[in-house]
Chains A and B, each alone.
Chain A
Amino acid sequence: METILFNLIWVIPLLTVLVCAPISASHEKVLKALHATSATFVLFVVCVLTYRVYALSGTPTDEAAAPFLLRFFTDIPWLSAFNAHYIVGADGLNMLLLALTAFIVWAGVLVSWNIKGNQKVFFALIQLLATSVYGVYMSFDLVLFFVFYEMEALCMYLMIACYGSGRRDYGGKKLTLTLAFGSSMILATLFGLYFEGGVHSWSIMELSKVTLPMDFQMWAFPLMFMGFAVSSSLFPFHFWSPDGHSAAPTAVSMLAAGVMMKMGAYGCLRVAMFLMPEAAKIWLPYVVALLIFNVVLGPFIAIRHKDLKYITAYSSISHLGLIFLGLAALTPVGLRGASLQMISHGFLTGLFFATIGMIYERTHTRDITEMGGIMRKMPFLGVGFVLAGFAGLGLPGFSGFIAESTIFIGAFQQDSTLTRVVTILAILSITTTAVYILQTANRMLHGNMPAKYEALTDGCLREKLVIVVLVACLLFIGICPGWISEILDQSIAPIFAKISAAAVPAVGG
C-alpha cells in the first residue's frame, strides 16, 4: 500500500497533466483548482510517508536494497535492450528532499495563481517539472535517474522564456543550456560506470558492490562531479543562476533554486561520491579551492547588486557553496550538514523568492534603490521577507543555523590545510551575509516610502498561507533538529562507510 503511494508521488503530477489536457484553456478556475488539489494531495502523501520513514527507522528493510536502508523498495525490469530497471526507494535523505519538493511545488502552484499568459500550459509545465524532480530523488537506477534529471531542461526553457520577465529569452537559454551541459557531462560517464565496473547494471546498489578501475575513476569522477555541480552552481559554473533566476517567474525561481539546485548536490553525494569514492578522496580537496568563490566572494557580489533576485541568486550560490564544503569535508557530520543545508536552503530560498515575487507583483520593480518603507503598506510580506533573511543569515531558531553550524563543525574535523582555510573563511563570512541581507531589508522595507506606493496592499490569504507554511517549516527544522539529523544519519551511514572504506592508491591529483 505504502509502496504504491510512494510510486504515485511522481505519477500524480503526470496524471494531472493528462487530465487537464482535454480541458480548454478558457476554464482557468477549473484547471487551477485541479492542479492545486493534486499538489496538495501529493504534499499530504509525502508528509505521511516521511512520517512513516521516521517511524520505521531502525527496523530492518528490504535486503535487495543493501547497502541502503530503503523503504517502499520497487524493482521492475524496464528496458531489456540495455538492461535498465525501474528502481525506486526511500531512505531518510531522499524522503526529506521529496518532502521539500512537495512543499515547494505546492507553494509554487499557489504563488503563480494569477500568472499572465496561457495558464493551462504553465501549470502543466510546473507539474512536469515536479515529476522530474520527484523522479530524480526517488530513483536508484542510473538510467531512470538521468531520464528524470534531464527532463527539467525541457520544462525550464519554456517556463522562463514564455512566462518570465526581463531578459527572459537570454536567461532561459543560459540556464537551460548550462544545465544541459552539466547533464551531458554526467551522461558521458554513465556508460563507463556500466561497462567498466564489470557488473553490467545501472543499479546504484549493484554498482556500489564493485570498485571501479582507478584510471577510469580519475577522469570520470571530475567529469561527473562537475556535471552535477553545474546545477548546484559551483564556481565556475554558477553564471547561469543569477540571470536565470532573475528572468524566471516566481514559481520557477522557487523550484529552480529551492529544489533543482539540490538535485546536483544530491547527485554528487548519491552517485559520484558514492560510486567513485577513491577518486573522490583524491579530487575533493581540490574542489574545496573552488568554494572560496562561492562562499567568500558570493556574498560580496550580492552586496553590490541592486536587483532583489540577483541578490537572492548570489546568496543561493554562497549557501550551496556551504553544501559542497560539507560534502568535501568527507566526514559524517559534514555530509549530514550538507544534506541538512540542502533541505533548509530549499525552504529558505523558496520563501525568499515567494516573498520577492509577491512584492514584485505589487511594486513592479525589483530594484531595491527604488523601493523603501513598504513595510508600512505590506507588513505581512515584509515580515516574511525579514524572516527569510534571518533564516538566510543563519539565525538560531531557523533551520539555516542548524545546517551551517553542522557543516562548520563537520568541515573542521577534516584535517587538510585547504579545507581548514576555507572553513575558517566560511565561518568569518557570515558577517558579509548579514551585511547584504540587512542592507536589502533596510533599503526595501524601512526608511522613507515613495509616494507612489501609497496604494499598495498587503498579501491576500493565499499568499499569507504560503508564507506561513514555509516559515513554519523553517522554524520546525530549526527548533527540533534532532529527529531530522537522526534519520539523515541513518541514510548517510552506508555512503560514508563506502567512502571511508575506499583505499586511495598513491596517485597524485
Chain B
Amino acid sequence: MYSIPHFIIPDLILLVFPFIVIGSRLFCDYKSKIPWRIANIGLMLIFVLLNLIPLASGEGQFFISNWRVDDFGVLMREVLILSALLGVWLSKDYFEHGADGKPQMHQIAEFIGAIAFATFGGITVVSACDTLTFFLGLEIATIPMYALTAWNKKDQMGTEAATKYILMGSVATAFELFGFSYLFGFAGGLHFSEIHAAVAAGTSPLLWVAVLFLFCGIGFKLTLFPFYTWAPDVYEGAPTPVTAVLSVTSKATAIAFLAVLVYGPLAPIQEQIAPLIALLAGVTLFVGNLGALKQSRLRRFMAYSSIAQAGYIMVALLGPAEIGKTAIVYYLFVYAISNYLAFFVFGIIGHHREETFASLRGLSKQNPSLAIALAISMFSLAGIPPLAGFFGKFHLFFSGATTGHYMLVTFAVLNNVLALFYYIQLIKSAWVDEPDGHLTPLRLTKRQRAVVIFLSIGVVAIGFLPFLSNNIFAGFNY
C-alpha cells in the first residue's frame, strides 16, 4: 500500500465528486440548496488544488504508467473545471423557473453530476497514455452530454435535439472505433509509446485509414466541416446552460483529443497530415462564418460562431508542439470566458424574453452595463484587440505561421472580417435599434450581476494585461 502521488488528488476528487453530489440528494429534499453548495465548494476546491500543482514541462509525471499529468494536462484540467463551474452557475436559475419558452428543469444534483462526469471524461482524454483509456475518456465525456441535452423532459425541442445528437454521435463513435482498430492493427499495441515507435518506423495504408477515420470521428465532436450539421440544431434545442457546456467542455475535450494525438503518437507524421488539418481548418471557419451571417436566434447563432471558432483553433495544430499547445490552451481559456459571458447575458435575456436578436433591442438604453458586457464578449469573440479574443487568435495564427502556412493564416485572418460582420449585427441590435415597448424589462439577480461583471473584467484583463498569460503558462516558455 503506497501513498497516492499528490498530482492526481484533484482527479480523484473529481471522480468521487459527482457521486457525493448525487448522493447528497438521499439526505435532503429536492428543493434544498445543499447539492448546489457542495458542487460549488468541490469544483472551486479542485480548481485551487490544480493551481497548486507545479508545472513540469516535457514528459510530465506518470501514474501506473498510463495516466500522465503534464503541464498541458494541468492547464486543460483548469479549463475544464472552469467551464464546469461556470456551467453550474449558469444552470442554477433554470432550476428555479423556466426560460426561453421552455419549462423549468428538475434534479439539479444529477445535472451537476452529469456535468462533472463529462468534465472527468475530458480529463481522462488529456491524461490518457493508451488508446483504450483515450477512447473511454472520450465516451465518458460524450455520453453525459446526450443526457444533458435531453434533460428538459417536457421540452420536445430538447428531445429532438438529443435524438439527432445521439444518433450522429454514435456514428461518429463508430468511426473513431474503426480508426482505433486499424491503429491497433498497424501498431500491434495500445500504448502511445508503441504506436509512436511504429509510426516513426514507417507508415502504411492501414495507418492512413486509421488517421482518416479518427479525424472524421473527432471532427464530429469538434464540429468540423462537414460534420458540424448537428451543432446548430442541438445548440438550439438544448437548454441554454447545456449549450454553453457543450460549446466549451466538449470542444475542449475534442481539441485536447486531437492535440494529444497529433503531438503524441502521430507526431512523426505531422507534416503529412498538415494539409488535411489546414483544409479542415480553412473550410470549417469559412463555412461557420457564412452560416452565422443571417441568424435570428441567439443560440443557433452561437452554434455557428463556435463552429467557426473550431476552425480557428485547428490552425494551431499546424505548429510545433510547445507553441501549438500554448496557443490551444490559452485560446480555450479566452474562448471559455468570452463564450460564457455571452451565454450569461443571453441567459439573463432568456429569463424574461425569448432568446432572439429582436429581444436585444434597446438594451443599451434600458440596461447599459449589460449591453457593454455583451459588446465586450462579442468583440472578444471577433478577435478585436485589446480584448482577450485577439490575443487568443494571435497565438493560434502565430503557431500556424511558425511552420509557414501563410496562405491559411491569411485566409483565416481575412475571415475575421466576416466574423466581425455578424458579431456587429448582434451588437447593432443591442446598441442601435430602438427599444420597443412590449419587451418585458430585465431584472438581474445579485449572482448574475456579480458573474457578468467578473467575466467582463476577466475578458478585458486577460487581453489588456496579457502578460498574465506568461505567468499562467510559465511552463511553456521555449
Contacts and interface: CB of A to CB of B under 8 A. Distances in A.
Q: Say if the two chains contact directly (CB < 8 Å).
A: yes
Interface of A: 25, 78-82, 118, 121, 143, 146-148, 150-151, 153-154, 157-158, 161-162, 168-169, 173, 176-177, 180-181, 184-185, 187-188, 191-192, 194-195, 223
Nearest to B326: A81
B268 interface: no
Nearest to A219: B406
A180 B364 contact: no
Contact of A162 (B364, B395, B397, B409): B364
B424 A79 contact: no
B469 A158 contact: no
Contact of B431 (A78, A150, A161): A161
A79 B469 contact: yes
B414 interface: yes
Contact of B406 (A151, A177, A180, A192): A192
B395 A188 contact: no
Chain B: number of interface residues, binned into ranges: 35 or more
A153 B431 contact: no
B286 interface: no
Contact of B470 (A80, A150, A180, A195): A80
B394 A82 contact: yes
A192 B136 CA distance: 41
Interface stretch (B36-44, B126-134, B378-386): B378-386
A184 B385 CA distance: 12
Contacts of B417: 177, 180-181, 184
Interface in B360-406: 364, 368, 372, 375, 379, 384-387, 390-391, 394-395, 397-398, 401-402, 404, 406
B421 interface: yes
Contacts of A191: 397-398, 401, 406, 409
Given A81-B473, A169-B432, A192-B401, A146 B413 contact: no
B414 A185 contact: yes
B416 A180 contact: yes
A201 to B, nearest CB: 13
B150 to A, nearest CB: 40
Majority-rule SS of A interface residues: helix
B80 interface: no
A188 B414 contact: yes
Given A158-B375, A192-B401, A223-B410, 20 more contacts: A25-B368, A79-B470, A80-B467, A81-B326, A81-B330, A147-B385, A150-B385, A151-B384, A157-B424, A158-B431, A162-B431, A162-B432, A176-B424, A181-B417, A184-B414, A184-B417, A188-B414, A191-B406, A195-B402, A195-B404
Nearest 7 pairs between A and B by C-beta? A191-B401, A188-B410, A147-B385, A184-B413, A188-B413, A161-B432, A181-B417
A188 B385 contact: no
A386 B17 CA distance: 76
Contacts of A181: 414, 417
A162 B434 CA distance: 10
Contact of A82 (B364, B395, B421): B395
B186 interface: no
Given A151-B385, A154-B379, A78 B420 contact: no
Contacts of A162: 364, 431-432
Contacts of A157: 424, 427
B385 A146 contact: yes
A147 B385 CA distance: 5
A382 to B, nearest CB: 34
A194 B414 CA distance: 19
Nearest to B420: A180
A148 B421 CA distance: 20
Contacts of B326: 81
Contacts of A161: 428, 431-432
B384 A150 contact: yes
B368 A81 contact: no
17 contacts: A25-B368, A79-B466, A82-B394, A121-B364, A121-B368, A146-B385, A151-B384, A162-B432, A168-B432, A169-B432, A173-B421, A176-B424, A180-B417, A184-B414, A184-B417, A185-B413, A192-B406
Contacts of A78: 466-467
A81 B316 CA distance: 14
B477 interface: yes
A118 to B, nearest CB: 6
A118 B375 CA distance: 16
Contact of B467 (A79, A146, A223): A79
B364 A118 contact: yes
**Of listed B387, B391, B406, B466, residue having the most chain A CB within 10 A:** B406
Nearest to B400: A191
B476 interface: yes
Chain A CB count within 10 A is highest, among B385, B410, B414, B424, for B385
Contact of A195 (B368, B394, B401): B401
A63 to B, nearest CB: 26
A168 B330 CA distance: 36
A150 B414 contact: no
A192 B421 CA distance: 26
A145 to B, nearest CB: 11
Contacts of A176: 420, 424
Contact of B416 (A147, A184, A194): A184
Interface string B291-322: 00000000000000000000000000000000
A443 B476 CA distance: 66
Contacts of A195: 401-402, 404
Nearest to B372: A121
A148 B386 CA distance: 8
A146 B397 CA distance: 14
Nearest to A135: B386
